[in-house]
A and B are shown apart, each in its own frame.
Chain A
């Protein structure tokens, strides 16, 4: 029993509710939000430390033993993602102070931001399939509010699609859960893992596994990404940044959890399918990224490419593949937040998202320009920066698993990603300066702080990859060996 495990879920939740009580006092909301996020991050780091020294931490909510009650489990994989999510959330939260506007602040922007974090953290920590569904909904309903908040025409149009897609995928999730419960008679993840292993993953269970794959692919934009480019272009910058940094990652996390803990018995069917979906996602996403001349669209398609690359590591299902996936997942959470914040700042400065309408921003905004350059290189995976470690391990994993085509597609799309972001850099930042400071629609004065914070992080993560290697390898061992997880949930208690 360790009550620390539940804190990353309830700290944002309680502080969000206190914000609703004091809805008129915006200053208090800002401070409370920062304090809540900081303490969540602190708890997540403490958890990381505890997991390293004492193994996976878990808590049986309400004191009911494992398969009967809800278990909340913090393994290293979840703890790492919690820390990454906290870092990017803090940056986006501070960024929104200066950009979101008084009107949205009055209509519960900050509380919903924290409820979104509640859902994200809860999805990472839960050890129960139905509870995962509930936390998905907590996250999604907050995201519905954040995407529509403000009520401009574009937002309403895109949010309608977004809500429709997610309602359908949630419905499918529920149906999949019903099938799974009908077959195995349990919903606790550790217990499910045991039951599936005992029964053998026959055709029926594999079918259910693929249904889960479809559900999580809809959330994670793995091949079924048709809803994403529009939805991520509509909301305000801070919201788009937190969405692209966290929402698809929660879907990816769920895919990893389900296919390493529960349905790992038929990799020649499920994992190969994941690999094919990942490859198609990378190719289609990269084509989208180089096709457009609209900053928002280019960045949105970059989100899709990285989803394909991360699941390629899972498709390989070797030590290096998973190691690379986790490194890349952490890197991707930070870099997507960063690049969306910079993109949004550029759009705020120039008043347009079309690349052909402005150029030469680097003359007036050298810091912003070079930070964009660094994040573009990091996104493509140039060696000293954070994207490199993940990409190299994923490629190594796919080669070890003799999925050469997958590794090759990963490499090829990296080039296309580099081209797409360099296109923004060369067209937007280089060239004749056609806009003086007076003509600009906004300023980078204070928003540069959160951007710089994330840039420093991506550099640090690149140079300090060795430093977090111990933690990441513990996470990989946990993913490769489900018995560690099961033991942490059941302990010495009898398993029914």
Chain B
């Protein structure tokens, strides 16, 4: 008989929201505080893994139709291409730049190309972590 895991489901639904927020906070904190792409990506991956644990693989795949292998490749490509971008400005590979922008809600914000690199790292970490977990769980 299948045990009734309504408690797990309910907690998961709330907890994923909190962990996801925390992981995004970690990601953006990286420049001035502890955090960054790697740990942010890992925290995001833990959300996906928690969903896999609470629900079954098919259900999660249905509502979260992401190809995690593709995500890894695109993340790494994004990270490298931000480095290649510096070729066009006659700067050495992986040079970064930043500037201050006036955004509608946030006010004056410092935007750096390092964030793009970090997004790449985060995508690669999420993709890799989830692919590992999924491959292990799918093997018979």
Residues of A within 8 A of B (CB): 1, 3, 6, 10, 13-14, 17-18, 20-21, 23, 59-63, 72
Decide: A13 and B80 in contact? CB cutoff 8 A: yes
User: Which 5 pairs across A and B sit closest by C-beta, in order of nearness?
Assistant: A20-B73, A6-B93, A62-B94, A17-B77, A63-B95
B72 contacts partner chain A, Cβ-Cβ < 8 Å: yes
Contact for B73 among A6, A10, A17, A61, CB less than 8 A:
A17
Minimum CB–CB distance from B62 to chain A (whole Å) comes to: 22
Decide: A60 and B80 in contact? CB cutoff 8 A: no
* Residues on A with beta carbons closer than 8 Å to the beta carbon of B76: 17
B70 contacts partner chain A, Cβ-Cβ < 8 Å: yes
A17 to B96, CA, bound (A): 22
* Residues on A with beta carbons closer than 8 Å to the beta carbon of B54: none
A13 to B76, CA, bound (A): 9
* Residues on B with beta carbons closer than 8 Å to the beta carbon of A21: 70, 73-74, 77
* Residues on B with beta carbons closer than 8 Å to the beta carbon of A13: 80
Decide: A61 and B70 in contact? CB cutoff 8 A: no
A62 to B74, CA, bound (A): 22
Decide: A20 and B72 in contact? CB cutoff 8 A: yes
Contact for B80 among A10, A62, A72, CB less than 8 A:
A10
B84 contacts partner chain A, Cβ-Cβ < 8 Å: yes
Decide: B91 and A63 in contact? CB cutoff 8 A: yes
A72 to B83, CA, bound (A): 14
Give 16 pairs: A residue, B residue, CB < 8 Å, sorted on A.
Answer: A1-B92, A3-B87, A10-B80, A10-B83, A17-B73, A18-B73, A20-B69, A21-B70, A21-B74, A59-B93, A60-B92, A61-B92, A62-B92, A62-B94, A62-B95, A63-B92
A238 to B91, CA, bound (A): 38
- A61 and B93 in contact, given A21-B70, A21-B73, A21-B74 (Cβ under 8 angstroms): yes
**How many residues belonging to B are interface residues under a CB distance threshold of 8 Å?**
18
Residues of B within 8 A of A (CB): 69-70, 72-74, 76-77, 80-81, 83-84, 87, 91-96
* Residues on A with beta carbons closer than 8 Å to the beta carbon of B94: 61-62
Decide: A62 and B96 in contact? CB cutoff 8 A: yes
* Residues on B with beta carbons closer than 8 Å to the beta carbon of A62: 92-96
* Residues on B with beta carbons closer than 8 Å to the beta carbon of A61: 92-94
A6 to B91, CA, bound (A): 12
Further pairs besides A14-B81, A59-B93, A61-B93: 15, Cβ < 8 Å: A1-B92, A10-B80, A10-B83, A14-B84, A17-B73, A17-B77, A20-B69, A21-B70, A21-B77, A59-B92, A60-B92, A62-B94, A62-B95, A63-B91, A63-B92
* Residues on B with beta carbons closer than 8 Å to the beta carbon of A63: 91-92, 95
A72 to B81, CA, bound (A): 18
Minimum CB–CB distance from A30 to chain B (whole Å) comes to: 18
Minimum CB–CB distance from B67 to chain A (whole Å) comes to: 10
Minimum CB–CB distance from A24 to chain B (whole Å) comes to: 11
By beta carbon, the residue of chain B nearest A21 is: B73
Minimum CB–CB distance from B69 to chain A (whole Å) comes to: 7
By beta carbon, the residue of chain B nearest A20 is: B73
Minimum CB–CB distance from A23 to chain B (whole Å) comes to: 7
By beta carbon, the residue of chain A nearest B124 is: A17
* Residues on B with beta carbons closer than 8 Å to the beta carbon of A59: 92-93
Minimum CB–CB distance from A117 to chain B (whole Å) comes to: 15
A60 to B80, CA, bound (A): 16
Decide: B70 and A14 in contact? CB cutoff 8 A: no
A13 to B79, CA, bound (A): 12
A10 to B77, CA, bound (A): 10
Decide: A18 and B84 in contact? CB cutoff 8 A: no
A17 to B71, CA, bound (A): 11
Decide: A18 and B77 in contact? CB cutoff 8 A: yes
By beta carbon, the residue of chain A nearest B79 is: A17
A18 to B87, CA, bound (A): 20
Minimum CB–CB distance from B96 to chain A (whole Å) comes to: 7
A60 to B92, CA, bound (A): 7
By beta carbon, the residue of chain A nearest B96 is: A62
A23 to B92, CA, bound (A): 31
Decide: A14 and B77 in contact? CB cutoff 8 A: yes
